[in-house]
Amino acid sequence: MKYIIILLFSVSSVAQIVDNGLYTVEYSEEYQQPLWVEYTVKCPNGKASRQGMDFWIPKDIKTSDNEDYRNNIYDKGHLAPAAAFSCDKETLLKTFSYINSALQHEGLNRGQWSKLESFERDAANFFGKEVKVRVEVLFEGKLEVLPTGATIPSGFRKIITIGDVTKSFVFPNSDTKGTKWIDYINK
């Protein structure tokens, strides 16, 4: 796969911007987590199967890996969701890179986050307009670093633009049981 990689240097870390043609991500090797991801919903009605797919580590970037997600409450949360890119197997596989994965509480990933992703696809179908999304991974307050080296995000901000309407949602990295995705709109 072809990537465009730009290195950004800051005082304490190196972040890389990667554009793989589907989504663009700024990835922190220090946190072993993405800092942000931007994408446009491509295949809201795609039918490609995820069967047999697992996350893969890209070359030349120090990312989280399977050990960071073992025996804890964190899912490999797609930031550019697989369901928005299930046009075909090759396209879908690009979403399974660890540069597109964040340590996301299983109750959030499988709960209201998933429902908001579904809304994005429904909006692309219903309005017939581009649905552009930016996900910002938040690292605020006291941060926990796993023994394996990855830092657990404190939360996530999702900014959705449909036509000329933009809405922002802020989620804590915790279980969202008993809530609705609209509860997280940033007012």
What's the pTM value of the predicted model, to 2 decimals? 0.91
- Per-residue pLDDT tens for 67-95? 999 999 999 999 999 999 999 999 999 99
Write the single-letter amino acid at 8.
L
DSSP string, 60-88: T-----GGGGTTSSEEEEESS-GGGBTTS
pLDDT value for 14: 75
pLDDT of 157 over the 80 cut: yes
- Per-residue pLDDT tens for 1-29? 444 444 444 334 578 999 999 999 999 99
Q: Residue 21, exposed/middle/buried by CB under 10 A (0-12, 13-18, 19+)?
A: exposed
Residue 28: half-sphere exposure toward Cβ, Cα within 13 Å: 21
